[in-house]
Amino acid sequence: MRLRPQRSLRTVLTTVTAGLAAATCLTAAGPANANSHISNACSPTVSIDRFSDALDKTTYDGTFVGNFSALAVDRNGDLAALSDRSSLFTLDRRTLSPTSVVPLADETGAALDSEGLVVDRDGTRLVSSETEPSVRRYSRDGRILDRLPVPDALQVAPAGRATANQTFEGLTLLPGGRTLLASMEYAISGDSTGIVRWQTWERKGAHFVLGAQYAYRTDTGLGVPEVAATPDGRLLVLERGFTSGVGNTVRLYLADPRHATDTSGVENLTGQDGVRLVKKTLLADIVNCPSLGATAKQPQPNPLLDNIEGMVITGRTHGGLRVLLVSDDNQNAVQTTRFYFLRVRTA
């Protein structure tokens, strides 16, 4: 990522601010109390305004609404919501009600394990799949337009060193729109447990070419289901895990890759000297949020928690960002499709 330092910062902030402004109408479930960001604190920097289970176990146009793995703000301010069952929904910006659904497939017509989503500046959709893994560009109506290259080592064994269902989860476009970043969920073979690789691509004309790669250390037992670029080039990072009989662990971090080592030429990542990992700062452990009356269908340390997997920055608030999370219910009776409306200060 050769994160273009401050060369384009004014352009970057203008671009991102315009995108966030288009999304500030995401007000489903009614207005929050004016003091909710204080009374509903999850930490000194994160608060929760409300949550919504309105879409849980519903259908739209014959398609199950759920299995959500990623969110993105479309150019008109509506939400694009990606199901890992190869469906891409459009949700109304105010109510979150589905207004359309588009099926996705690979080049052979087979379904994807679709996990990451970016709406590019021209309205096309960049979608990552854990199957190979892959990143493809789709038209709004679901036609494949392009497929990005993936380093050999990040491919699923035996072609590479990755483990099936533990590859590209998070996908985000950095400010300025030149650099795309995908996060592996877990470590690849040969790397130390807990050190995951982040792959970048640089925009070159109408395509993306391979860029730098970075390493990020997760908390013990957790993986990375989602990343979201902030206007200043840092990243919000979700870390998540599950313990049977206990429930989910979900933590929100702020990460800064701008001084990390390019690890694309490092065969094994062990935390060795000379390799600077991405720095991270804990913003909140979601278990510490107020439950707000939420109920859980299985044991959870906080009934508000579920299998949170998707995240998008939807706008600005005084001193911070509005962030929307969504849980993946896996079409499972004991899990819930739940949206979480957060306020996050990153300063």
pLDDT tens-digit series, residues 282-316: 999 999 999 999 999 999 999 999 999 999 999 99
Convert the pLDDT of each residue in 54-96 to its tens digit: 999 999 999 999 999 999 999 999 999 999 999 999 999 999 9
Q: At 12, list the tokens.
A: 């970057």
Res 39: pLDDT: 73
How confident is the prediction for the chain on average, in pLDDT?
91
Averaged pLDDT, 27-31: 41
Closest CA to 272 of 212, 346, 196, 192: 192
The pLDDT-based confidence of 347 (bands split at 50, 70, 90) is: confident
Closest CA to 313 of 136, 217, 220, 174: 174
* Residue whose token pair is 């910006």: 93
Convert the pLDDT of each residue in 104-141 to its tens digit: 999 999 999 999 999 999 999 999 999 999 999 999 99
Buried-exposed string 6-26: b where 16+ CB fall within 10 A, e elsewhere: eeeeeebeebbeebbebbeeb
Closest CA to 80 of 48, 59, 102, 58: 102
Q: At 164, list the tokens.
A: 């099936």
Q: Is the Cβ–Cβ distance between 256 and 323 less than 8 Å?
A: no
Res 319: pLDDT: 81
How far are the Cα atoms of 118, 219, 260, 288, 319 from residue 70, in angstroms, in the given order?
9, 22, 26, 23, 25
Averaged pLDDT, 167-192: 98
The pLDDT-based confidence of 38 (bands split at 50, 70, 90) is: low
Convert the pLDDT of each residue in 205-226 to its tens digit: 999 999 999 999 999 999 999 9
Q: At 195, list the tokens.
A: 């050190």
How far are the Cα atoms of 62, 85, 87, 139 from residue 143, in angstroms, in the given order?
21, 17, 13, 5
Res 26: pLDDT: 57
The CATH number of the structural domain formed by 6-344 is 2.115.10
